[in-house]
Amino acid sequence: MQTPSFDPGLTQRYDGPLRRVINPDGSFNVSRQGSTWRDSNPYLHLVSTSWPRFFAWVLLAYIAVNCVFALVYFLLGPGTLAGGVHAAASDRFLQCFFFSSQTLTTVGFGAISPATPAANVIAALEALFGLLGFAVATGLLFGRVSRPSARIGFSKQALISPYQDGISLQFRVVNRRANTLIEPSATVMLMTVDRSNGDSRREFKLLTLERPSIMIFALTWTIVHPIDANSPLYGKTAADLEALQAEFIVLMKAWDETFAQTVHQRFSYRYSELVWGAKFKSAFVVDSAGNLQVDVGKISDHVRENAPALPSVQQG
């Protein structure tokens, strides 16, 4: 008996062209509309964005703040700063900008100093703003480096491979980092599209795995779904899965021993990313000293075979 269809939170009904549910980077293919500025959270964005974008935002904020304070000093007049250049306006603005950067960072070289009460007030406020701003930047940096995250590598394709006396759906995962992940588990869900009633309806079915979890994630792990009479893939060909717009959604969970927290990662394979009649090559070897060596770059390596037990092979 097949597992009944259910909605895991991705909706069963939709209009328009169908794209993959999970993008290659693990993010959900969902965009939000109608949000207001009250719904935004800059902290979450800066903690979760990429490192180049994070440093770009920090640099942009640093330049913008200094430009604002430099403009204030500039508008106060030529005699505002002692030791500054009083020639061209562009040179004076640069002097104001560099004085602002020294005040913001509390470096204070002393070559330029505030010469009026107004300038001293602005400099005092800027120093306070700098202390608070760099405290926030430090908190963001700490939040990024201390946030636990998984770096699980997935094979580029999933395989329809021989398995015991039948066939199976297989894909391979590996921990790409040197940290230790304990008791990883996998959940695999098949999403298909039913157009039998004239409208499009998504259906979701959990796939039974040969081994849904392991104790130690030291080497590669080949996750196997046996395609037997109870499998929703039973009797399906490559053309059938294409017609169903099949997508296999993978949810991984493991305990990160370094951070002592649970980490998650998502991935998916579409029907076009299946290789029929193939099996994975070994991705680890034993060296001359008897140590196991894993090559994470070989996680996707596979070889096609003549597979008479796969009468439904339609590709290659």
C-alpha radius of gyration, the chain, whole number: 29
Give the tokens for residue 205: 């079915």
Domains 37-146 and 152-304 share a fold: no
Least confident segment among 43-47, 63-67, 139-143: 43-47
Per-residue pLDDT band at 27 (split at 50, 70, 90):
confident
Least confident segment among 2-6, 229-233, 245-249: 2-6
In CATH, 37-146 is 1.20.120.1200: no
Least confident segment among 151-165, 193-207, 262-276: 193-207
Between 117-146 and 89-104, two packed helices, what is the crossing angle to 10 degrees?
Answer: 60
Contact indicator for 275, 158 with CB cutoff of 8 Å: yes
Chain-centroid distance, C-alpha 66: 33
What's the confidence (pLDDT) of residue 307? Answer: 47
Least confident segment among 3-17, 70-84, 241-255: 3-17
**CB hemisphere CA count around 181 (13 angstroms):** 27
Q: Which residues contact 42 (CB under 8 A, 6 or more apart)?
A: none
> pLDDT per residue over 243-266, tens digit each?
888 999 999 999 998 888 899 999
Computed over every residue of the chain, the mean pLDDT equals 85
What is the Cα–Cα distance from 248 to 20, expressed in whole angstroms?
10
Q: What is the DSSP letter of 134?
A: H
Q: 152-304 in CATH: which number?
A: 2.60.40.1400
Chain-centroid distance, C-alpha 154: 13
Contact indicator for 150, 256 with CB cutoff of 8 Å: yes
Instruction: Give the percent of the chain with pLDDT over 90.
Output: 47
Long-range contacts of 77-81 (CB under 8 A, 24+ apart): 79/115, 79/116, 80/114, 80/115, 80/116, 80/118, 80/119, 81/112, 81/113, 81/114, 81/115, 81/119
Per-residue pLDDT band at 74 (split at 50, 70, 90):
very high
Does the pLDDT value for residue 15 go beyond 80? no
Sign of CA dihedral 72, 76, 77, 80: negative
Sign of CA dihedral 46, 49, 54, 58: negative
Give the tokens for residue 218: 């030291």
Higher pLDDT, 62 or 41: 62
Question: What pTM value is reported for the model?
Answer: 0.75
Does the pLDDT value for residue 121 go beyond 90? yes
Higher pLDDT, 19 or 5: 19
Highest mean pLDDT among 31-35, 143-147, 257-261, 298-302: 298-302
Q: How much is the average pLDDT of 176-189?
A: 91
> pLDDT per residue over 189-225, tens digit each?
998 887 777 677 788 899 999 999 999 888 899 999 9
Spell out the domain ranges in the chain.
Answer: 37-146, 152-304
Q: How much is the average pLDDT of 84-94?
A: 75
Higher pLDDT, 4 or 238: 238
What is the Cα–Cα distance from 127 to 8, expressed in whole angstroms?
51
What's the confidence (pLDDT) of residue 247? Answer: 92
What's the confidence (pLDDT) of residue 310? Answer: 44
Contact indicator for 245, 268 with CB cutoff of 8 Å: no
What's the confidence (pLDDT) of residue 308? Answer: 40
